[in-house]
Chains A and B, each alone.
Chain A
Amino acid sequence: MRQFLVVLAVSYVGAAASVWWLSGFVPWFLLPDFPFLAIVFAGLFIGGPAGFLAAIPPALFREITVSGPPWTFFLSSLALYFVSREIALRLFVRAEHFILSVVVSLLLTESLSVVILMLLAGSRPFSFLWGMEEAVRIAWTGLLAVPLYMDLSGRWRRVKE
């Protein structure tokens, strides 16, 4: 229950601050995707049905705040949870560089998938400058994930002990 509430709080406060408070004056590439981080955290660190339940509210927040077609970001966020869970069970090592590489790879994969889908659909709103900004966003979100995950997972371990 406590894990669920912490993941909910991180995703809710993060999404609220980024979308409703800071988005008007802070550039988008400096605003980390907190619901994304919460979903990956649930996949990597929270086992069993609790992890899946914890991933549902952040997935809903992404669905509401990202302007994709209806249900696409909710479903892809749940897929993101299952992929993170698979990574946690098969090859995850609880170390800073592993966390960084997992988060960056997942962000990169998601971004490339959306870009390819949009290009296939005929939209071309992407430029070199956009690519640079997106690289900043991915790097910044990945770097933020390391202390956040290490701190939260450390707390879990202490609580369990």
Chain B
Amino acid sequence: MGSFFRKWWRLLTAIFLLSVAIQFFVRPPAALSRADAFHASGSILFRPVYATVDFVRHGISSIWSHYIALVGMSRENDRLRREVASLREKLQENRDTLLENRRLKELLRFSETAGKKTIGARVVGHDISPWFQSFFIDVGVEAGVEPGMAVVTPAGGIGRIHKTYSGLSEVLLVTDGRFTADVIVERNRVRAVAEGMGGNLCRLKYVSLTQDVVAGDRILFSGFDGSMPKGILLGTVVGVDRPPEGLFLKVQVRCSVSVHAAEEVLVVLYRPSIPFRAGKR
């Protein structure tokens, strides 16, 4: 027996480690999803790299916009002067309407932001593994970011915070196979569960065959599950299949945000009402 273990201890260790890894994969313990010193050391090691890359990328874009793009500036300047003169005239005419509009806009903005504080973040890297869809943003635990918080852009929802480190967070994208959220169809308020399906697509689950969902319908997060803010756009229905057998429609949704092209995002600093379990939702 002793010689068996001495001979195969490496393989047995590998099997043990894999068993624990599979257990964590299937049922991640909540205590392990918190940021710890071990993970923090890894993110600190990479910080100089992504900070430098971010600096260089934005430096190049700044050089482009401030110097190279100046070539056509003079012509554009003349055109803009004429446009400003015409706009000033219009502005005078509509001054009262404009002021009222501004007040209402401020009020609306206040009502939107009063309940949910947000923080801007820049995308600094992408997960290159074949199985998962996520990216990294340059804000972390010190900014109050926590796993489960929603990540949005002006065009719509983009994902949810998955892991947080110091100065770095990982965002699970809406197209990842593990992402699910409660959604509604904007036109007729039909409820469903959206699940990522890779590419730039999601599928809607549990939509009854009797429900009226057609291509072109806009899908919004319902907010009922407490994970994503209510009313944020997920995407537009691009395909509805009514299978001859089965209980539910097969609905495909194209996300409103091009998840891989996003550069800046907003993290909604609102603790989800349902406890978040990293890796599975």
Contacts and interface: CB of A to CB of B under 8 A. Distances in A.
A101 B14 CA distance: 20
Interface string A65-89: 1111111110110111011011001
A50 interface: no
Contacts of A23: 125-128
B279 A69 contact: yes
Contacts of A64: 39, 42-43, 46, 165
A120 B177 CA distance: 12
Interface string A20-50: 1101100011010100000000000000000
A82 B15 CA distance: 9
A72 B21 contact: yes
Interface in B131-186: 131-134, 136, 162-163, 165, 170, 172, 175-178
Given A21-B53, A124-B177, A63 B42 contact: yes
A125 B177 contact: yes
Contact of A86 (B11, B49, B278, B279): B11
Given A64-B43, A118-B131, A125-B176, A86 B126 contact: no
Contact of B175 (A63, A82, A121, A125): A125
Interface residues of A, number: 52
Contacts of B50: 20
A123 B177 contact: yes
B101 interface: no
B28 A70 contact: yes
A3 to B, nearest CB: 19
A137 B53 CA distance: 24
B10 A86 contact: yes
B14 A82 contact: yes
- Chain B: interface residue count, which band? 35 or more
A130 B25 CA distance: 21
Contacts of B116: none
B81 to A, nearest CB: 38
Interface in B113-136: 123-134, 136
A133 B177 contact: no
A152 to B, nearest CB: 22
A19 B53 CA distance: 11
B38 interface: yes
Given A21-B53, A124-B177, A125-B198, A69 B17 contact: no
Interface in B88-112: none
A13 B83 CA distance: 51
B17 A82 contact: yes
Interface string B31-53: 01100001101110110011001
A76 B134 contact: no
A80 B18 CA distance: 9
Nearest to B198: A125
Contacts of A73: 21
Contact of B280 (A76, A111, A115, A121): A121
A32 to B, nearest CB: 9
Contacts of A15: 46
Instruction: Name the residue among A60, A70, A71 with the largest chain B CB count within 10 angstroms.
Output: A70
Interface of A: 12, 15-16, 18-21, 23-24, 28-29, 31, 33, 60-61, 63-73, 75-76, 78-80, 82-83, 85-86, 89, 111, 114-115, 117-118, 120-121, 123-127, 130, 133-134, 137
28 contacts: A20-B46, A20-B49, A20-B136, A28-B128, A60-B38, A60-B41, A61-B46, A64-B43, A66-B127, A67-B127, A67-B134, A67-B162, A67-B176, A68-B131, A70-B33, A72-B21, A73-B21, A75-B18, A82-B11, A82-B13, A82-B17, A83-B14, A111-B130, A117-B22, A123-B177, A125-B198, A130-B198, A133-B130
The 7 closest A-B pairs by CB, nearest first: A69-B279, A123-B177, A125-B177, A23-B126, A67-B134, A82-B14, A67-B132
Given A24-B126, A29-B130, A72-B279, 5 more contacts: A12-B45, A28-B126, A89-B10, A115-B131, A117-B25
